[in-house]
Structure 1
Amino acid sequence: MKSIRIIHLENNGIDAELVALALKDQAYTADVVIVDDKERFCKKLETEKFDVILMDYDVPNLSASEAIDIVKSKKIDTPIIVISGAIGYDSAIRLIKQGAQDYVLKQNLISLPSVIHRALNETQQKADGVKQKKEKATASAIIHTGIFKMNQKGNCLSVNKPLCEMLGYSEKEIMTGDGWLKYIVPDTKELVTEKLLQQLRGQAPFEIEAKLITGASQEIWVKCNYIPEGNGEFLGAMVDVTTTKSKEDELVNLSMHDALTSLPNRRYFSEAVQMMIHECERGVLNAFAVFYIDLDHFKKVNDLLGHPAGDELLKQAAARFKSIVRKYDIIARIGGDEFLIVFKHINSIGEIAFLCDTLLTKFRVPFYIGEHECLTTLSIGVAYVDNTTTGIDAESIIQKADQALYRSKARGRNCYEIYTDNISHEIQHTIFIENALRHAIDEKELSIVFQPQIDLLKSAIFGFETLVRWRQAVYGDIPPNIFVPIAEESQQINVIGEWVIDSAIKAYQQFDANVTYFKKHGVSLSVNISAIQLLQNDFIDHLLQKIKLNKINPQKFIFEITETGIIQNMSQLKNQFIRSPTTDLCIAVDDFGTGYSSFTNLKELPIKVLKIDQSFVQEIENDANCRNIIKSVISLANAMQITLIAEGVETQKQVDFLLENGCSILQGYFFSKPLALSEVEDYIRNFGAVRFK
């Protein structure tokens, strides 16, 4: 009598006995193993083999659905039968679709033996079908397999007809000379032949792959299995694996290239650089340089024109790079707007400078995306390696080039920087500041101070400029000219700028409520806005809402934007001002005279104040050109009826010159250092006692 092994997942002893009773007196003996929880169920499946799996529909903490998933996850093909007291049609169908073979109701256990019998038959038929399919595939493979005999010298002693058909040559052609080895493609012939002859000198089975040229001048991949026959001869079986190899090559290509530009990716690039390092170590290669390149202002193109335009720009940039590099150099895109180039055979730093200048010049030519002209310059970081360099790998070189890139971007972009050890220390310091900035607001390390602006003609306080200060726990006071550029580069300026605006609003409300002079004389408060903040959508609307919500006089709460920031973001600023009711918004152009802005552009924005840059003010006594520039700015401000403020005033002679030429509102240490919040009220109250010329 046939015996079958059954595992039964059931936690109810009575139900388990009823199932055992239903399986008695059948044409087979049932060896039933009962388990009642997930742990035992899994352990039995892993350690023992069963012919049938029975499972209750709802064992506590293990439903039939979960149990089926466990069986399938272990890749067990044993038929599954679900037993249930009450199961709906939909639930039953769902379990069968999930992998159950059948189901039986507990009130109809008499049918269980026939269900098991049917399940076993179906499983056997399925197994037989798979076996037949494999046998047919094997037979087909045998029919199309090229069989040959080869001696230890690589000569073919005999070949069958399928081999001749596969290679497209006659038996006589294949048997002549080096046998089928003469058809190996030239690039790999020497290497494959050497490897094969080495294996033929042994007496162990082996396998080898080769790319051959057929009689029809096509290239095919073949795999050959060799079995020694004990007399110095080998029996070989050759099969065409071109299709499989093509798919493998395609996958490798996809894994090593950027989908958008078809350039190599970072993985490909890193492996290529590693090979160059080995070539330098062996003296084969003299030197090479890795260029880490960033497209300046790419994000602006993405934001203004959309991602499809950004993708098109990247493809055009890739094409331009390819037109510049030599055939033995490698260029890769590693994500976003970042590219890597490795230039081989670099003989001097001067050659690096020449290549950088070439790249920078080529990328000063605009790109055209549809009807739009896009200008994106380059920031370049370079790491140089020669045959004296030791103890490095590809990733460390790429990292050094990245650090040099960081430095070139900090210098203002559209330039290059070559890595030195000093850069590494600077970058570490920069990274520390960048990380510390992320916690500066929460740690209450930031504060604001206020520098007075004095109207000498009226002997009055015109306003105060709000300035941000940072006292860091480790480094102490860090100047704004150090941390603000880092905040801009790391995109933290938006959060910090928002905090400064909110803090200035609170200070304005405090002064307006507590200091009579402030309200009576309409003293203004100005806040600096970064060019990065201007790139935020609807930023101007956001400022207007803040002013309105806090009930502040918009003419007395001034937003200072550098002239360079205005020039770089002119089109976006115009769009925001067009959409917004900005007649009441007060904009000041900071550092005026340094950015060469168009007077026409200035007229299109609601600019109420110009601030003469302190670099001109501080050279009044020494430089006639600076004096002439200041006179021109004063004339411009008068013609446009714009309020003018000179900043950075430190000496009496500077005060005299500015007053004589028509600029009366002055700011600088000659009048006062920046004041803490607690000092401002006293300064205003005591202002009447202060005497200036």
Structure 2
Amino acid sequence: MSDRILHSLSLDAKTVSIISVIKGWGFVLLTAVLLYAVTRKYLNDSSKAVRRQVELERRWEFALDVAGDGVWDWRLDKERYDYAGRWTDLLNQCGGQAGHQETWLNVIHPDDLEPFQKAVNDHIRGLTERFENEHRVTCPGHNTKWLLARGLGTERDADGRARRFSGVVIDITKQKEVEHELRIAATAFDSNEAKMITDTSKRIVRVNRAFTLITGYSQNEVIGKDPSILKSGIQSTDFYREMWRSIHEKGYWQGEIWNKRKNGQEYPEWLRINVVKDARGVVTNYIASFNDVSDLKQARRQIDHLSHYDTLTHLPNKQSMMSMLDEVTMSSDRTSKYAALMFVDLKNFKALNSAMGHSIGDVILEELSARLSDASQHIAVARYGGDVFAILVSHIGSDMDDAAYNAHQLAELMIAKTSEPVMVDDFQYRADIRVGISIFHPKDNAANEVLRQAEMAINEAKILDTTGIVFFNEDMKLRVNRRFQLETKLREAIPQQLFLTMQLQVESDGHPSGAEVLIRWRDPDDGIVSPAEFIPVAEKTGLINQIGDWVLSSACQQIAAWSDHPVLSQLILSVNVSLKQFMQASFVDKVAEAISQNGILASQLKLELTESIFVEDYKVIIEKMEKLKSLGLRISLDDFGTGFSSLAYLKRLPIDELKIDQSFIRDLLESTENQAIVESIIRLGQSLGMSVIAEGVETEAQRDKLIEMGCHRFQGYLFAKPVEVDTVYTLIADRH
């Protein structure tokens, strides 16, 4: 167009040429200026866009870090996997590498890996609209975290299979912890204990299933109501005022309360009320927790009944009688009236039970208890034992004579009532009863003393084998009666009711070296009778010789029986010998005969003698000991240190062993005097060439102290209690 304009002018050719050159350079210059301006604007715009993108990415990464989330982008067609966000630090610390899908898979919890992979594959194949999966990730040195992964296939091929798969990963660990706590709270709330939540206006906002089961009210029936709908009316206004005072001051209250069910039934419950406060300390709710304790109270009543009443006769039992007796003797209202405690014993009832059976015996006891109660109206009657009843009369007379007369009258009435025949099917039983009576004044006698007196009276009736009434009096000689009873029964007991037990004697390393033979008496009526009770009676009556001979013979038989046992054949049995037994003229011959008849080695028998033998003639003692030693057996001086033997004669006695009495061992660690005595005995035994054994060792500290002093043989509960012969083998075998 510029050329046309130029040619239309009436100019010469030279001028046109010059103008054309100028025009060309002008256009070049203009084009350059315009190109520069356009290029500069483009560069400025690009720079701003880059800065905006960088800022956007910076903000995006910051947001991911703050949120703890991550972004992932998986290019399946290029096998490229990228992730970003703060959680990537954990993946990298677990040994992962950027761009590798395995990094994520390697830290997923093994139990969650298969569901995760299935969810991923299902979405890649187009089976799901969106990908979403919760899983745990863990690696050494880090806590397990819960992640929520969400994603979408953003590019898919013609078959619908994802070529690009992108999404986010959100850390939901805190959310899971809260959910877990909520589940625990929900489980606790919906427990077997009834729970009720109210607001500050004391309106019910929530209850659980246990509440409904206990009260009969459904949740819809109580929401918005005041808990007073449960009130039974048994508690007073003051009770509730005090309850709420405690709640406001302490933040809680608990106690027993009576409430009412929907059907109107009253029931006891154990109630706890706690205050709920917000972060500012302002009360927001009250939580009441309670249990129906009806069954518990009923069970307690039954237990209380069983503990205080006899299940067969339904009379008060021994414990109740003791309580009633305590109440009488300790009552502050002690009048001038005398009281009486009576024991009623059914003669030969145990024989009846054995012959006819307990079913018949129980019927008879029920009938006799009813008769005793009928004869003793308004008086406390109890079943004190199997066939023994107790009757307590708190006011029976104004003086001793009057009380004794009235008690005798009552006893005769009971005898008359119980003597009438009792029919059980075709069997007729006529009871013979014995009554032991103690008359006492409550202010002068303690319950235990009254009980002892009544027992003495009934025991007197048993010993005399009478059927009738026996009063306690101070002239009764309980020890004589007991000795008479024991003597009579002991004569019948030898030897059928006697048996042996053994207590091991051990070395310092715990290896058994022997055992002491201990006699026991199993009485058919009284059970095990203590040796401390029947041995003195046996010694005074001379029965000790017969018992001693049996023990010696039985011990030798046991040694012979054990001769084939590799473990037991090495044991040395110690047999206690009393003074009377030792002083028998034929004692040495009896020992020799027992050894010979059983064919045992005399060295396996040890006789234990107490220092009491030295009250006799020393010459006779030494002579007998030497004869016994010539047989080859061993002699031990038992309870050494408690007697009065002369040390001057001790060195002349053929004794193999000194046995330290347990009275010195008991306080060995606390008493310096005992330590000095024990140490002296040990040194004396060592100087005389005798072994020393300590009895009554019960603690490791005692044993260690004795070892320190030089004693290396022991006997006591620390190592073994006395056991019956059949148990000895097991006891020894366990130590080998």
TM-score higher than 0.5 here? Answer: no
Scaled to the shorter chain, the TM-score interval is: 0.3 to 0.5
TM-score (normalizing by structure 2): 0.35
TM-score (normalizing by structure 1): 0.37
- State which structure, 1 or 2, has the greater radius of gyration over its C-alpha atoms: 2
